Amino acid sequence: MALDPQAKAFLDYLASLGAAPIHTLTPEKNRAGARFLANKTNPPPEQVAKVEDRLIPAEDGEIKLRIYTPEGKGPFPVLVFFHGGGWVLGDLDVLDSPLRALTNFAQAMVVSVDYRLAPEHKFPTAVNDCYLATKWVSENAPLLGGDAGRVAVGGESAGGNLAAVVSLMARDRGFPPLHYQVLIYPVTDLSRKYPSHSKFDGYFLTREDMRYFEKHYLRTPEDRENVYVSPLLAKDLSNLPPALIITAGYDPLHDEGEAYAARLKEAGVEVTYYCYEDMIHGFFGFGGIINKGKDLIERIAGALKL
Region label for 185, one of left (φ > 0), alpha (ψ between -120 and 50) or beta (otherwise) = left
Specify whether the CB–CB gap between 106 and 79 falls below 8 A.
yes
Say how far apart CA 129 and CA 109 lie, in whole Å.
19
Specify whether the CB–CB gap between 154 and 183 falls below 8 A.
yes
Region label for 4, one of left (φ > 0), alpha (ψ between -120 and 50) or beta (otherwise) = beta
Say how far apart CA 201 and CA 260 lie, in whole Å.
20
Say how far apart CA 143 and CA 21 lie, in whole Å.
45
Say how far apart CA 164 and CA 173 lie, in whole Å.
14
**Residue 29: beta bridge partners?**
none
Say how far apart CA 208 and CA 212 lie, in whole Å.
6
Say how far apart CA 22 and CA 257 lie, in whole Å.
23
3-state secondary structure of 70: coil
Say how far apart CA 250 and CA 199 lie, in whole Å.
8
- Comparing CA positions, the residue from 218, 226, 293 lying closest to residue 4 is 293
Residues assigned a catalytic role: 157, 251, 281
Burial profile 54-77: b = 16 or more Cβ within 10 angstroms, e = fewer: eebebeeeebbbbbbbbeeebebb
The distance from CA 223 to its chain's CA centroid, rounded to whole angstroms, is: 20
